[in-house]
Amino acid sequence: MSAFANIWKIKELKSRILFTLGLVIICRLISTVPTPGVNIAPVKSFIDDLAQTGGGFMGMFDVFSGGALSQCSVGMLSIWPYITASIVIQLMTAIIPSLEKMAREGDVGRQKLNQTTRYLTLAICAVQAFFLATMLENPQMLGINEQIVIAPGFGFRILTVISVTAATMLTMWLAEQITERGIGNGTSIIIMINIIAGLPAAIIDCASKFFPTAGQPAEWNLFYLVFILALAFFVFAGTIALTQGVRRIPICTARRSVGGVSPMAGTNTSYMPLRVNFGGVMPIIFAGPILQAVGYVLKLIPVGFIQSFGNSLYSGQDAIFLVVYSLLIVFFSFFWVATQFHAIRIADDLKNSQGYIPGIRPGQPTAEFLDMTMTRVTLIGAIGLVVIAVLPQILQQWTNIPGGMARYLGGTSLLIIVGVALDVMRQIEAYLVMQNYDGFLKHGKLRGRR
């Protein structure tokens, strides 16, 4: 607790935290401003019903937007078009030589990439807002039998595109301001706050099961409380271990001469950390929507087994869904490593800096060793990621835990909350240590996701 008390003794750190809190409040206000001409009640009822059965893609998106989708607010896309654009640019950088060259140009290149990301965000947001307006005008596409839009037509679509796009671009700008003048990565903080916004309602929903209602006995007893608390402890601990786990590769570099003096004999030894969960939350983010989209398309095909398979994928509850979902997470874990981890480039950089891995020859052998080691580490991380991802569905089916609470005991929500919390604590600890204060941990080292 002394570390939290020392935060307010550092003027710069205190101002950054207060600045971040102020912009986060503005982001939450944006998610409450309703879209003009929309009847909110049918959409909210539809998403609340989805939450009881797992939520599916729309339920998950509503959680990530902080409930903005169920309220049909102008901030219903939240920061996600910007995240989509960032992922696209990051993947294209590994494929397109001109973008890769731009990324290697230092600060100037990064500014150009950031500007390209903003333009792409604007285009993606306009397209997504138009499709959202079309879906609201045609609620039958969602399985809603009530009219949502009061005055449908071209004017409503244009108004929705303008208002939603403006809200998203404002949220993107606020995220960038948090990154520059606040504490931590602004995009990640906004997503974490949006997810946490639904936690009080989930806790109240669970707490209501411990009390009798309308003459009926309580659904849960003390055993359930102990079980949930113990489960939460072990799941949080496992998620932190998966997020911070690394495989340290020893690196030796020759000592260099300073000021014309010949170098001392021997070498310097350091470590290259290979993250166990290199892809972070990306494999789950890729696997979930893709599986939902494929399931929606397949269930429209009037062929018995294909339609049944599509319903299983779209429902998000069947054993078939869990198996395919797990396989996709493993696939995208290796896919993300293949596109973002460049063993040959790392080996060349080590060779140019006169560094080497003990027992491994520089050059191609080093690249092969790094690639083999990263493959084994990624397999362990992918298995851990699968366990966390499928845990909410298993808890709902086997323990009768409400879907709202199950999301916080596994899946994407838990990974994002833990990862962002570790990043923010790492930055705060760096400020504390720099000012000669004790950090959060007396032993060990607090590491973020990066």
Residue 47 domain-assigned (yes or no): yes
For 86-127, write each residue's pLDDT tens digit. Answer: 888 887 887 788 877 887 777 788 888 889 899 999 999 999
* Coil, helix or strand at residue 249: strand
Instruction: Give the total number of structural domains in the chain.
Output: 1
* CA distance linking residue 107 with residue 232, whole number of Å: 42
Residue 295 domain-assigned (yes or no): no
* CA distance linking residue 438 with residue 440, whole number of Å: 7
Residue 125 domain-assigned (yes or no): yes
Query: Mean pLDDT: which of 50-59, 187-196, 263-272 is highest?
Result: 187-196
Fill in the amino acid letter for 162.
I
Residue 33 structural domain: 1-197
For 36-54, write each residue's pLDDT tens digit. Answer: 888 888 888 877 776 665 5
Residue 250 domain-assigned (yes or no): no
Rounded CA Rg of the chain: 24
Other Cβ atoms less than 10 A from the Cβ of 150: the count is 10
Burial class (CB in 10 A: 0-12, 13-18, 19+), 119: exposed
Residue 67 domain-assigned (yes or no): yes
Question: Predicted confidence band at 169 (pLDDT cuts at 50, 70, 90)?
Answer: very high
Q: Which CATH number belongs to the domain containing residue 150 in this structure? A: 1.10.3370.10
Contact 414, 195 (CB under 8 A): no
pLDDT at 266 over 80: no
Q: What is the mean pLDDT of residues 271-286?
A: 87
Question: What is the DSSP-derived secondary structure letter of residue 261?
Answer: B
Question: Predicted confidence band at 29 (pLDDT cuts at 50, 70, 90)?
Answer: very high
Residue 307 domain-assigned (yes or no): no
- Tell me how long the chain is: 450
Contact 156, 133 (CB under 8 A): yes
Residue 51 domain-assigned (yes or no): yes
C-alpha distance from residue 55 to each of 61, 129, 288, 331, 397 (Å) = 9, 21, 12, 24, 14
Residue 185 domain-assigned (yes or no): yes
Fill in the amino acid letter for 197.
A
Give the up-direction half-sphere exposure of residue 304: CA atoms within 13 A in the CB hemisphere.
0
Q: What is the token pair recorded at 297?
A: 């398309």
* CA distance linking residue 287 with residue 331, whole number of Å: 9
Say what the pLDDT of residue 445 is. Answer: 64
Say what the pLDDT of residue 46 is. Answer: 77
Choose among 386, 392, 346, 390: nearest CA to 366: 346
Contact 83, 121 (CB under 8 A): no
Question: If you search the block for the tokens 């910007």, which residue do you land on?
Answer: 82
For 300-311, write each residue's pLDDT tens digit. Answer: 787 777 878 877
Helix H or strand E segment including 116: helix 107-137
